[in-house]
Structure 1
């Protein structure tokens, strides 16, 4: 079905179709991750101190009053630490699995690999919600579901970045991927709204509905995704008295090293395997690509900040503004709205300047003052927009355009089969920070929210420091003068 669709649509139209399809596919990934942060918080009986902002609005109507709201095994005074452990179990599994996912993804068809991951992710997301329906109170069950879901969700990012990188060249890559990467924020926003709709009535549906959505998108992926722009030739050949258009497609390699042994009538495809197909890069080979280590470690701290906001912002808004869980979830989307603008802005600026590291460094420097606790709610909401843009801008740029640039680095000598591995290394290292951030937030928040914001500011500065060598290299290379044919040029 994908090849039939490709034979009908022009390459330009199918490129646009792939852009939209991969956008929706990864939107569903983030849509399924967001409910846990929304369902964490709700108002409870203020007479019960440790339940002032307890977890998940998980009520047992026959055992509790309307104001005494709890759900075993989270009805403890250390509920923040328990919730932090749940976040950590998902993100730690995601970080570990990501390193393996990129290597596996280079060696399997992306369409099948991604479809499997989405179907399994839908299953485990629904299982979490079924815990409410079947009154499951075992902590091990929820930890197991989180770990399993974290592992299968690692199929998503390397696959979609590899696919979009194969279809779009380096021209305006920052802008294109900046717009495309807004799927992260769109998924967070939709996940917040969907989870918030059921959080006060039946929180199980806050997980089941997103789970069904990502599973359905997995079926769409299987039916329509093509992982790269295939080499094709169109022309006319006389069949009897008629001239019919013909098409030859090589699905193994991008428009090079292909043969045209057979020409058939329209809408028939000749599959010709390339004998010069490059081998997938090794893990250590990917690490040796210049810039991979620096950007990976930078993303570790940048993603620590972003995911701490992702998992704990609704709880903070609830605590600081005394709002209900639904309203807090809606307000938390301001951070993601700012992230959409920041990702696009980072892509445009980096394309214009041709300096990815410098763009990230400047945005991280500006982000540091915004990662702070504001006294006024109105000012805090405005800062959420600005902070979302400045924090998620570098995060978006590194995980998309930078990963694609490094995965097609000139040192690879044309080998395009490194993109998935490089993407997985960068995002996997970043996911280590995503696992540490929410866990530390759970511990530090018990001592006061100021401690959490100090941690976020420190992480932001560390991300900035790790880019200084690359920034220096970019700025100095712009002033290097090289002689050429008796003249000088500035590069």
Structure 2
């Protein structure tokens, strides 16, 4: 039985890994296609001398587009293309941030398998919708904006669902390491999305969206067929609609139960059944399941506000790289859209190692916040070095992409996984694991506000010079460190 249980855990680990990797796979194409939507092919004598570097690269001629523009895809072929592309990012991420707050609350009250399946099918539809603009010769900005907004809303179904599912199957013992490895799905999805989108970007950029859309939709069907929402021995998943019959309780036995924050993540059926019913009795609930936590109640959990604000600034930095790094590499390294997209994947490779390293260190120190603070402290100077060294050649850029990716994505990965799961099963909840989805959504939703601001600010600031974008990112890292100082030097594990 124990062997079967571990096989089930391994299966859920791999399945949820693939499911959420597909979400990031479908988000990445827009950053790869930006270099194709607006090409720097204007003759140097038509631009100011100060802007010569930006237009110095002469991209090889490609087949003339149906809008008869040789410099991109209307309406992104104008001089204000950076603002327009930034607006696309902003519309997606604003919708994602708003939807995330609602998603966790809704997700607690619906079966995870159904909720996640519908979200993945809808994500596939709206991701492909953006690419259909190429095939149907659509040049209306609002079409692409609507595709981004709707996609941002439906993609919020993913994160609270997979974190709740993985939290139901794995306890706190090595949560940092396990979730650090598991959270590499973010970087793996970004890498695959870059490679898939880059394959078609110069020939038929519409397929750069349609193919990822088909992939996430197909995995949505896999989710419906195979996802197991919870360990069948725990009975603690928030979507459980069935009654649990109360066994005869001995008060002395009840007093000997382990810490509720840990107990109900363990695969022990009897203890979890006893603890569940014990907490119902304490809370005066005569029903057969625990009530979902309120939004305000989740905010009162110690650490939720601090880590939400910390993630806001950390995600601002991470998503600015996610959406703007290929275009930055195109400008600085003088590469075409495909090669820039391929090179940008090294940032995510560094992020994989950063997430795993953060999990290992936090498990060893038993201090999640101190680990985040240490990596944030190193991230700001690393970003400064990246902005300076990346102009010295391709080799230096490769090294700094790996280092920056590890330091930027390490804290981000730790907060969105192990920290969220720890807070969602905090002692103050008295074993109510139904808070996990709401807590995860609050933390990631607040982080998504920063994710929306970062690419927008990058689009507004970049015309004045890429150095100013990096200064903005360094300030954001410093703010993330400041808001987490209270928890960084706390005596408590979190």
TM-score scaled by length of structure 1: 0.85
Q: 1:309 to 1:62 in 2, by over 3 A?
A: closer
Which residue pairs with 1:165 in the alignment? 167
Which residue pairs with 2:194 in the alignment? 192
After superposition, give the CA deviation of every residue in 1:151-174 in whole Å (9 maximum; x if it has no partner).
Answer: 000000000000000000001000
Q: Give the C-alpha shift of residue 61 in structure 1.
A: 3.3
Q: 1:9 to 1:356 in 2, by over 3 A?
A: closer
Q: Secondary structure at the match of 1:39?
A: helix
Structure with the larger strand share? 1
Which residue pairs with 1:418 in the alignment? 435
Q: Secondary structure at the match of 2:402?
A: helix
CA distance in 2, matches of 1:394, 1:196: 28
- Could you tell me which of 272, 294, 299 is aligned with 1:287? 299
Q: Give the C-alpha shift of residue 380 in structure 1.
A: 2.4
- Could you tell me which of 218, 221, 245 is aligned with 2:220? 218
CA distance in 2, matches of 1:153, 1:161: 14
Conservation of the 8 A alpha-carbon contact between 1:340 and 1:389: yes
CA distance in 2, matches of 1:14, 1:62: 52
After superposition, give the CA deviation of every residue in 1:373-430 in whole Å (9 maximum; x if it has no partner).
Answer: 1231222221110010011000000000000000000000000100000000000000
Conservation of the 8 A alpha-carbon contact between 2:75 and 2:139: yes
After superposition, give the CA deviation of every residue in 1:311-349 in whole Å (9 maximum; x if it has no partner).
Answer: 000000000010000000010001000000000000000
Q: Give the C-alpha shift of residue 276 in structure 1.
A: 3.6
Q: Give the C-alpha shift of residue 183 in structure 1.
A: 0.1
Which residue pairs with 1:396 in the alignment? 413
CA distance in 1, matches of 2:143, 2:107: 29
Q: Secondary structure at the match of 1:72?
A: coil
CA distance in 2, matches of 1:309, 1:60: 30
Structure with the larger helix share? 2
CA distance in 2, matches of 1:40, 1:14: 41
Q: Secondary structure at the match of 1:230?
A: coil
- Could you tell me which of 460, 464, 467 is aligned with 2:484? 467
CA distance in 2, matches of 1:117, 1:292: 26
Q: Which runs of 5+ in 2 are unaligned?
A: 245-263, 275-285
2:362 aligned with 1:336? no
Q: 1:220 to 1:9 in 2, by over 3 A?
A: farther
CA distance in 2, matches of 1:125, 1:250: 33
CA distance in 2, matches of 1:438, 1:206: 21
- Could you tell me which of 207, 230, 251 is aligned with 2:209? 207
1:33-432 superposed matches below 5 A:
33-42=27-36, 43-47=39-43, 49=47, 52=55, 60-61=64-65, 64=68, 68-231=70-233, 255=269, 256-257=272-273, 276-372=288-384, 373=387, 374=389, 375-377=391-393, 378-432=395-449
Conservation of the 8 A alpha-carbon contact between 2:313 and 2:476: yes
After superposition, give the CA deviation of every residue in 1:22-69 in whole Å (9 maximum; x if it has no partner).
Answer: 0000000000000000000044424154994899x997535537xx22
Q: Give the C-alpha shift of residue 465 in structure 1.
A: 0.5
Which residue pairs with 1:240 in the alignment? none
Q: Secondary structure at the match of 2:463?
A: helix
CA distance in 1, matches of 2:361, 2:234: 34
Which residue pairs with 2:10 in the alignment? 16
Conservation of the 8 A alpha-carbon contact between 1:54 and 1:75: no
Q: 1:58 to 1:140 in 2, by over 3 A?
A: farther
Q: 1:116 to 1:169 in 2, by over 3 A?
A: same
Q: 1:219 to 1:323 in 2, by over 3 A?
A: same
Which residue pairs with 2:255 in the alignment? none
Q: Give the C-alpha shift of residue 275 in structure 1.
A: 5.0
Conservation of the 8 A alpha-carbon contact between 2:66 and 2:137: no
After superposition, give the CA deviation of every residue in 1:424-473 in whole Å (9 maximum; x if it has no partner).
Answer: 00000000000000000001000000110000000000000111111221
Conservation of the 8 A alpha-carbon contact between 1:308 and 1:434: yes
Q: Give the C-alpha shift of residue 9 in structure 1.
A: 8.5
**Aligned residues, how many?**
438
CA distance in 2, matches of 1:430, 1:174: 19
Q: Secondary structure at the match of 1:207?
A: helix
Which residue pairs with 2:260 in the alignment? none
Q: Secondary structure at the match of 1:257?
A: helix
Which residue pairs with 1:261 in the alignment? none
Conservation of the 8 A alpha-carbon contact between 1:161 and 1:420: yes
CA distance in 2, matches of 1:149, 1:291: 30
CA distance in 1, matches of 2:468, 2:243: 52
Q: Secondary structure at the match of 2:273?
A: coil
Q: Give the C-alpha shift of residue 227 in structure 1.
A: 1.2
Conservation of the 8 A alpha-carbon contact between 1:59 and 1:69: no
Q: Give the C-alpha shift of residue 14 in structure 1.
A: 0.7
Q: 1:391 to 1:75 in 2, by over 3 A?
A: same
Q: Secondary structure at the match of 1:387?
A: helix
